[in-house]
């Protein structure tokens, strides 16, 4: 929560500074109507009631320096305890989660040094309890099978403040929300996987 509030303060501060400076115009935009870029992105969020970090990337084609159409994906990179014991190691299982899909991003005032963008990822993912092929426990055993998986549907909208670092690079900080539905998995619910996000992204390409 503290990290989320910190990013919100960054967004608000950058917005105020941009308004005071009159949004100084960035001198360079490609003449081509169709360009492309990619982004490395990290999201701080909640997962199953705990702080969590998701990392990933997205990329696509940008139309008229405004609308990007592409694809993206994210993986849960922090460790979170699942349920049951791994049949081979006898250690408690960990959750493993990844998702991706269609990515749309719209840029406002992209010819300014400080500007804004809004994006949405729509797609699906999978969550697993443990890794491996798994074994079904015998009667009387306290070992659950070491893998159990479920697919899910995800929508993740967000808004960002962006700073032009170079003609080929932008840095974006923003907030959003990850909405998950359709999970059919023991030990976790849609609500446990849905949460606000605070993001930091580094974008590279032609804008």
Could you tell me the residue ranges of all domains in the chain? 2-205
**Beta strand pairing status for 169-181 and 81-85?**
unpaired
E strand or H helix at 94: strand 92-108
Q: What is the pLDDT of residue 62?
A: 97
Residue 6: per-residue pLDDT: 43
Which numeric CATH code is attached to 2-205? 2.40.160.20
β-pairing verdict for 114-129 and 92-108: antiparallel
Residue 134 has pLDDT above 90, yes or no: no
Which helix (H) or strand (E) segment is 66 a member of? none
Give the integer Cα–Cα distance in Å for 130 and 149: 9
Confidence check: pLDDT of 26 > 80: no
Question: Mean pLDDT across the stretch 94-98?
Answer: 95
State yes or no: pLDDT of 9 exceeds 60.
Answer: no
CA 161 to CA 7: how far, in whole Å? 10
Answer whether residue 206 shows pLDDT above 90. yes
Spatial distance between the Cα atoms of 183 and 199, rounded to a whole number of angstroms: 24
Task: List pLDDT tens digits, range 146-181.
Answer: 578 899 999 999 999 999 999 999 999 999 999 999
Q: What proportion of the chain, given as a percentage, has pLDDT over 90?
A: 66
Q: Is the dihedral of CA 83, 197, 4, 202 positive or negative?
A: positive
**Which tokens is 41 given?**
């992105």
Confidence category of residue 85, pLDDT binned at 50, 70, 90: confident
Mean pLDDT confidence for 112-129: 96
């Amino acid at each position: 929560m503290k990290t989320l509030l910190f990013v919100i303060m960054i967004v608000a501060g950058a917005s105020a500074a941009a308004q005071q400076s009159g949004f100084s115009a960035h001198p360079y935009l490609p003449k081509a109507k169709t360009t492309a870029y990619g982004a490395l992105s990290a999201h701080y969020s909640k997962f199953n009631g705990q702080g969590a970090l998701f990392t990933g990337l997205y990329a696509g084609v940008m139309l008229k320096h405004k609308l990007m159409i592409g694809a993206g994906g994210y993986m849960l990179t922090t460790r979170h305890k699942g349920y049951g014991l791994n049949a081979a190691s006898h250690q408690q299982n960990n959750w493993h989660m990844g998702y991706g899909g269609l990515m749309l991003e719209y840029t406002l005032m992209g010819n300014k040094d400080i500007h804004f963008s809004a994006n949405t990822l729509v797609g699906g993912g999978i969550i697993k309890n443990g890794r491996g092929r798994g074994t079904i426990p015998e009667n009387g055993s306290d070992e659950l099978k070491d893998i159990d998986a479920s697919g899910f549907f995800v929508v993740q909208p967000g808004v960002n403040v962006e700073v032009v670092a170079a003609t080929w690079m932008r840095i974006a900080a923003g907030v959003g929300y990850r909405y998950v539905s359709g999970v059919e998995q023991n030990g976790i619910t849609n609500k446990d996987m849905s949460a606000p996000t605070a993001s930091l992204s580094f974008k590279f390409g032609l804008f």
